[in-house]
């Protein structure tokens, strides 16, 4: 999901928030 993370951060104003959301969804998408 590295690509998804890069795309999400690229479209997010707050990268800290995007990383927090990603950390929540990563266990689900794996």
pLDDT on residue 12: 59
Q: State the pTM of this model.
A: 0.35
pLDDT by residue for the chain (30 residues), tens only, comes to 577 777 766 665 566 777 787 788 777 655
Note whether 29 and 4 are within 8 A (CB).
yes
pLDDT on residue 20: 81
> What domain range is 13 assigned to?
1-29
pLDDT on residue 28: 67
pLDDT on residue 1: 59
Residues 6+ apart with CB under 8 A from 8: 18, 21, 22
Token pair, residue 17, equals 């928030």
pLDDT on residue 4: 72
Count the domains in the chain: 1
**Cα dihedral sign for 13, 14, 19, 21?**
negative
């Amino acid at each position: 999901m590295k690509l998804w993370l890069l795309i999400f951060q690229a479209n997010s104003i707050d990268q800290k928030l995007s990383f927090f959301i990603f950390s929540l969804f990563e266990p689900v998408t794996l």
